[in-house]
Amino acid sequence: MNEKEIAELRRRFRPDKSGITCVLGCYVNENGEIVSRFRQSLGAMSAEEGEKLLALLKRTLSGTPGRNLLDITFETAQVVDGPEHRRLMALRDSALEDEGAVEDFFQTVIRSAPLEGNYLILLARDTYDVPYRGRDGAEQADASEEVFTYLVCALCPVKQTKPALSYYPVENQLHNRGVDDLLSPPALGFLFPAFDDRSTNLYGALYYTRDGEDNHPDFVEAVFHTPAPMPAQAQMETFQALLGESLEEEGSYEVVQAIRDQLRERVEAYKSAREEEPLAVSRQEVGQVLSACGVAQTHIAAFEQRYDEAFGPGTRLAPQNLLDIRKLEVRTPSVTIQVDPDRGDLVETRVIDGVRYILIRADEGVRVNGVDIQIS
């Protein structure tokens, strides 16, 4: 799913837009036991409560595609007769009324959920009359092309407050406030099926993880029976390692800076163009940058081989998952230097009398522990 399709569904999670009439769920304690089950009608809640509940579910469609929002793809055999896909379809098609499918789903999640402490499993179903969109991009709400029926699931940690003395203005008195269970934003969640090309795609789902460093593969395997994509942080660490190993003595500051600048320019151009398809780069494109920097072909070939071994042949990755384009950092075992991302030209490396140095141009405004100093 691309950002435009995700944003279109996000706009659904408002009381005046949503077709969600109730939320099904269960409360799981720290021992993995279901304490209670519930079916909460939004019509029985106050407007403010209903809005907050929808906003909570909406969080499962937030974050960065490729980092927090990951596309899940089912094999044809799974769609035809896979138990995991069949369970999700039963939940969707029964409007969460299939008690056997609901119970099976709850137990599957509990066995694989990586959450510690108490948490809620929330399930909701929405039906969206997808409005027709003309060539000019304008929507015609009365000309629906398709009805998109989908599930949203959220796993929300429950945190307990501490007892405290509280002031009650109505009574104008102080009273002891007991322990309350507060619902936290989702740690995990998903949307099924996928909304690709503004249409139902039974071969896909959109998986949400709040933590970009951990995709929780056990949960993905249990719910979807498919390998979890490599976490964004692991992609970055892997790319950085194989780049350094491949370039060897040609892995200079200038080469790494050039790759970072190229990735950053691509991201900025993508945002300006407002492209619908997710931005991704291939190993060939990174290889072209290396070639433009004068890196030897043998080192480029070594990089491309290691890339295929680590990520798989033909894999395209999000630029922000390769190098941190928001900052420029130079680090040694004893010193860390943070550089303005737009002023990488202030730093250079040099060998003087056989000793390696990092040189920083400092014309003015130099401080040491907050004290202005002069370089003479």
What are the pLDDT digits (tens) for 77-136? 999 999 999 999 999 999 999 999 999 999 999 999 889 899 999 999 999 999 877 665
Q: Across-strand partners of 331?
A: 336
**Is there a contact between 351 and 357 (Cβ–Cβ < 8 Å)?**
yes
Mean pLDDT for all residues in the chain: 88
DSSP string, 150-184: EEEEEEEEEEEPPPEEEEETTTTEEEEE---EEEP
CA-based diameter of the chain, in Å? 79
Q: How many CB atoms lie within 10 A of CB 40?
A: 16
Q: Return the SS3 of 286.
A: helix
**Residue 141: predicted pLDDT:** 59
**Residue 98: predicted pLDDT:** 94
**Residue 326: predicted pLDDT:** 83
Q: Return the SS3 of 371.
A: strand
Q: DSSP H helical segments within the chain, as ranges? A: 3-10, 47-58, 76-81, 83-93, 99-112, 217-224, 232-247, 253-273, 283-292, 297-311
Q: How many CB atoms lie within 10 A of CB 144?
A: 13
Q: CA 34 to CA 37: how far, in whole Å?
A: 7
Q: Across-strand partners of 140?
A: 132
**Is there a contact between 82 and 225 (Cβ–Cβ < 8 Å)?**
yes
**Is there a contact between 316 and 282 (Cβ–Cβ < 8 Å)?**
yes
Helix (H) or strand (E) holding 341: none
Q: How far is CA 203 from the centre of its chain?
A: 20
| Averaged pLDDT for residues 288-313 | 88
Tell me which residue of 340, 344, 351, 356 sits closest to 256, measured CA to CA.
Answer: 344
Share of the chain residues as helix, strand and coil, in percent rounded to the nearest 5: 35, 30, 35
Q: CA 250 to CA 264: how far, in whole Å?
A: 22
pLDDT digits (tens, 9 = 90+) for 259-274: 888 888 888 888 787 7
Q: At what angle do helices 253-273 and 232-247 cross, to 10 degrees?
A: 140
List phi, psi (to 5°) of 108: -65, -45
**Residue 136: predicted pLDDT:** 56
pLDDT digits (tens, 9 = 90+) for 239-257: 999 888 988 888 888 888 8
**Residue 180: predicted pLDDT:** 79
Question: What letter represents residue 138's amino acid?
Answer: A
**pTM of structure:** 0.80
Tell me which residue of 60, 47, 61 sits closest to 15, measured CA to CA.
Answer: 47
List phi, psi (to 5°) of 340: -55, 125
Q: CA 91 to CA 152: how far, in whole Å?
A: 11
